[in-house]
Structures are given as C-alpha cells and as structure tokens.
Amino acid sequence: MSIRYLELVCPAGTPSALRTAVEAGADTVYCGFRDCTNARNYPGLNFDFDELCAGVTYAHARDCKVLVAINTFPRAGDESPWHRAVDHAAAAGVDAVILADLGVLDYATRCHPNLRRHLSVQASAANAPSIQFYRDHFDVRRVVLPRVLSVEAVAELIAETGIETEVFAFGSVGPMSEGRCYLSSYLTGLSPTSEGACAPASHVAYEEIDGRVLSRLGGVTLNCFARGEPAAYPTPCKGRYVTHGQASYLFEEPVGLNAIEILPQLKGAGVTALKIEGRQRSRAYVAEVVTTFRRALDALERCDEGTPTGQLHGNTEGGKETCGAYQKGWR
C-alpha cells in the first residue's frame, strides 16, 4: 500500500458516512456487512453487498482505500456467514479484510490468498510472538494493536516484528483485552464476540427519575447520572460499581481516547496507520473528527509547530479525553 505518511483510517457505518469520510480526507475507510460478522452489528447500520461495491467504486475513484471488518468469532456450526462475508469482500474489490477468528483467517488464507489480511484488535495480539504467529501462519500484513499498550511498548513491538501497525487515535478507551471480554453477555446473553454488539441496544434501557437518568443493561443498573452530568455508553466497563462501600468508575471513567496530541510520538514509534473509531456514530462525527485529524496530520507532515489539535472533546464520551494507555500511569 502506498502511504503518504501516517495513514488515516476512518469509520464508515453507512454509505453516507463513507462519502463523508472520503470527502473529509480519509486515506482509508473501514466498514462492515449488515450482520453479525462485524463487531458493530447495530440496527440500521452497515453495508449490504451492493452498497459495499458502490462504496469501493466511490472511494477508489478518490484514491481512498476500503477495508472490511469481519472481526467477530463465528458460532460453531454456523461459519458460513463469515465465509460468505470474506467472499463478498473479495468480490467487491476491497483493499483488505480485518479478521480476528483463527478459522476465518484460515479460510481467507486458503480461499483468497491474494486478499490482503489485517488482524483485528479483537484478536488481542499485544506481543511480538502473537503477531509473528498471525504473520507466519496467515500472512497477516497489518496488525491493529490493542489499546492497552504504551507508546514505548508500541515502538518495541514494531521494532521487533517489523510489521505494519494500526493504532487507535480517537474513540473509546477499552480497558479490557478486546475480543475476549464476556461482561456484556454476562448481563444480556448476547455475545459481543459472536453477535457483534457490546451492550446491544435491545437490552439497554434508560429511566429518568427527577432529572437523574438510570442506565440499565439486561436489567442491571450500570449507572446513574445526576442532572447535567455527562453520560457514558451503557457498556458494563463504563459502569459505576461499589467496592468497599464506595461507588466509583472501577474499570474506566466515561472518557474518550484522543491521541491527537501525541501524533509525533506515534509516528516516531513507527506506526503505519491511525484508526478513528466510530462506525456506530453519525456522519456529523465522522466529518468533524476526520477533518480535524486530516489537518493535524498535514501539519505534522509539514513539521508545523503548534499542530492544530482542534476541539474534539465535545465528541468524546463524558465530554472528556485522555491519551489512555499510551501514556504512563494509566494502568
């Protein structure tokens, strides 16, 4: 893949978001099919085959690449939707597929050897031997690194494996090792790993009492927001829990990840691509975040002092942002 500099990889939950991302300056967009084969299986979201083909044509005409996330884990006895998704992605002429499951990786390697394979963050490859495993056995060309690593650790991994890496630049702070977290299915019975939705909307409920809002998942109270207090996603890892008699954000505060301030460090670490999370967000978000990162990356490339970092905190969970695990002390 020809890379101008740090490649900007942007979310496209819908065809209109894809166009928005391309127009806003994405080098690459990623999307998923309208079913359980991707980790953002929410109602009304994602692409059917024709929409993907049109999206690929649109993006390629504007020198933008398209990746397809097929990054959930097939249910036993029902692997065909995942295999079909890989077939369809190949037929649509996408630039790469983002995979997580060993069986799906194996299928893609056997049946579509020329289809470029990226390793999803859902595969949780956070060390050199894991990355080497996927590279050696499935010819994986790029690894999306788990967002639990510091910049130093990212640099070490790249130095040791020499593989292309994609890291999260904007989105959620996921404290758990992704792809093997069962908190949501513990409460709802629906598995994010195979159904593709953490905190599925069908199991989320909000109740307003005297200006306070209670959020519940599968009937379990996750949080209570006072009047005017910024809200968090109704995912179990962003809930408030009581330990030693005291309620706190035990796992993670309602805060968003924004690495825009440390782009030079990520570039210095040898990162290939920056991932903007948010296929579940509206296209207004895509426009704003992609535009801001495009400007920052262009400025970085010109070596401008005072990289424009924009004002994105309105878009982040809880209206607050952090560099997450990239910085020391987060753990």
Q: Could you give the C-alpha distances from 74 to 112, 136, 288, in angstroms and in order?
A: 18, 22, 34
Among the listed residues 41, 165, 223, 235, the single contact to other proteins using CB under 8 A: 223
Q: Does 167 bind other proteins (CB under 8 A)?
A: no
Contact 198, 212 (CB under 8 A): no
The set of residues, in sequence order, having a beta carbon less than 8 Å from that of 213 and lying 6+ positions away, is 206, 207, 224, 225, 231
Tokens of 57: 């044509």
Q: Does 247 bind other proteins (CB under 8 A)?
A: yes
Whole-number Å distance between alpha carbons of 145 and 98? 12
Q: Where are the alpha helices (DSSP H) in 210-276?
A: 263-268
Site for other proteins in 20-49 (CB under 8 A): 42-45
At its nearest, how many Å lie between other proteins and the CB of residue 54?
Answer: 11
Among the listed residues 11, 116, 254, 326, the single contact to other proteins using CB under 8 A: 254
Q: Does 277 bind other proteins (CB under 8 A)?
A: no
Judged by beta carbon, residue 94 or residue 232, the one nearer other proteins is 232
Q: Does 105 bind other proteins (CB under 8 A)?
A: yes
Per the listing, tokens 């306070």 go with 212
At its nearest, how many Å lie between other proteins and the CB of residue 216?
Answer: 9
Whole-number Å distance between alpha carbons of 148 and 173? 9
Q: Does 111 bind other proteins (CB under 8 A)?
A: no
Q: Does 63 bind other proteins (CB under 8 A)?
A: no
Judged by beta carbon, residue 92 or residue 123, the one nearer other proteins is 123
Among the listed residues 101, 164, 166, 277, the single contact to other proteins using CB under 8 A: 101
Q: Does 187 bind other proteins (CB under 8 A)?
A: yes
Strands 246-248 and 241-243: antiparallel
Eight-class DSSP state of 177: P
Site for other proteins in 294-313 (CB under 8 A): none
